[in-house]
Chains A and B, each alone.
Chain A
């Protein structure tokens, strides 16, 4: 008899299923829980953006666009990216993708061969290693620590490099830590790799959510543009997670390879989403700034609340997460999250979901109203008092 388990590709079978899924499934069966877990904005996409998509559908724009995305959207992206001192040819160096995630996947597939090593930092969003492994590559992990503001330091980078190193993946502002890499931090890394053949995949999906300073892209530093793929998207900046709209920018030699993968795997990003994206970039930058100001206020609020209940926490400078140190509780991350869920009806994500070195921490999202955050953190406070 045919056995479906026997036909699975070895590389796919080797990918570990995410342990956090079970936890999330459980959470979804408990409606009275104050959850601080979501990884997406609580704002609705601004109405003008939604309207632009509706209009595109009403007008019957239901076709495929060109593989790389409509020229108008790529032109708008090219203009928009200059605000980060990034300069890409909208005809040959920008590819519109189904969310930042697809851009990450296509970039890794375009760059990584069997046996290549890819340097990733941890704790981090979880997609990079499985995608690298599917290409036959191997991840070498740099552990970042709260004492160093969760940054990749040049020393740690140097130690991780081997003759097999192909790619360095940077994702700042970082999920789950909220850490950012400032210009001098990136310059120090650029110095380490400038005389090597190592390229960089810079996942800048949270770039707009940088507080008190302007996000710096490593691709804007001298000598870095030609070896960097910048990946970003509309999800976090414009509250457009469900639209699945992102992009990859790279020098044309790399972009043309990414485009081949995108063309065969995806064809093109959703047309209605692309029309929405044009509207976002051309007339909703102010709405975006207002959302960023609101996140910034909540960021200060949540850090203060955590300090008040006795949790040490690195003050995040980007994204919409805080990553407090919970070791004072004497519990592991998993125990902390489970006890909080079952006994205090509040929910956070255990830090080890983002890599082993996230152990001892939990992620708290502040993509919620202030009242909601307050209630959630007060429940954490009650639990800490009981320990």
Chain B
């Protein structure tokens, strides 16, 4: 396992294999093979751009929904998790400790779509006891990246 390689592409997935190879003093072919293996093994599960939708004209609402559910006798929470996770509207799904069971994240919808999804899809599920929907008002930081003003290099020049 090359932790440094994973850390590098976790921060910047757009670096070419060639550039990464130079930085790690390895061959380009080795980097390619390692990345392919990580992809095959599911260590690397995808590549995405981080987009600050607030800077676009699109309506792009994110919501976090808390679900309290009653676990099923044979399969605990897994069966329900699979069911909820199957909805394409759901971008993240976590089983939580504490006051509720599932945290469901919905990203990039309109208010109406979110309301509809909670009322029509989640709430009616057999084992769901309560739902609490929280709308995200503003995203300040996500995946280690700060959202908001664009970085300006203010460093002065000196020798």
Contacts and interface: CB of A to CB of B under 8 A. Distances in A.
Contact of B22 (A20, A24, A125, A304): A304
B70 interface: no
Contact of B157 (A27, A176, A301, A370): A27
Contacts of A42: 153, 155
A5 interface: no
Contact of A39 (B24, B153, B159): B159
Contact of A300 (B15, B22, B158): B22
Given A293-B4, A370-B12, A301 B19 contact: yes
A24 B23 contact: no
Interface in A6-45: 18, 20, 24, 27-28, 35, 37-40, 42
Given A293-B4, A370-B12, A370-B15, A349 B159 contact: yes
A38 B22 contact: no
B25 interface: yes
A28 B22 CA distance: 32
B15 A38 contact: no
B8 interface: yes
The dominant DSSP class at the A interface is helix
Contacts of B153: 35, 38, 42
Contacts of A24: 156-158
A81 to B, nearest CB: 26
A353 B159 contact: yes
Nearest to B18: A304
B23 A18 contact: no
A298 B23 contact: yes
A342 B127 CA distance: 69
Interface residues of B, number: 15
Residues of A in contact with B, size category: 20 to 34
Given A301-B22, A370-B19, A354 B159 contact: yes
Contact of B159 (A20, A298, A371): A20
Interface string A170-181: 000001100000
Nearest to B22: A304
A18 B24 CA distance: 38
Given A297-B8, A370-B12, A370-B15, A39 B23 contact: no
Interface in A335-350: 349
A298 B22 CA distance: 9
A188 interface: no
B148 to A, nearest CB: 15
A39 B157 CA distance: 7
Interface in B86-104: none
A126 interface: yes
B158 A40 contact: yes
Nearest to B24: A297
Contacts of B25: 300
Contacts of B23: 297-298, 300-301, 370
B30 to A, nearest CB: 15
26 contacts: A20-B159, A24-B156, A24-B158, A28-B156, A35-B153, A35-B157, A37-B157, A38-B153, A38-B156, A38-B157, A39-B157, A39-B159, A40-B158, A42-B155, A125-B159, A175-B159, A176-B159, A293-B4, A297-B24, A298-B23, A300-B23, A301-B19, A301-B23, A370-B12, A370-B15, A371-B12
A-B interface, 9 closest residue pairs, ranked by CB to CB distance from nearest: A297-B23, A24-B157, A304-B22, A38-B155, A301-B23, A37-B157, A39-B158, A301-B22, A300-B23
Given A38-B153, A176-B159, A304-B22, 5 more contacts: A27-B157, A38-B158, A297-B8, A298-B23, A371-B12
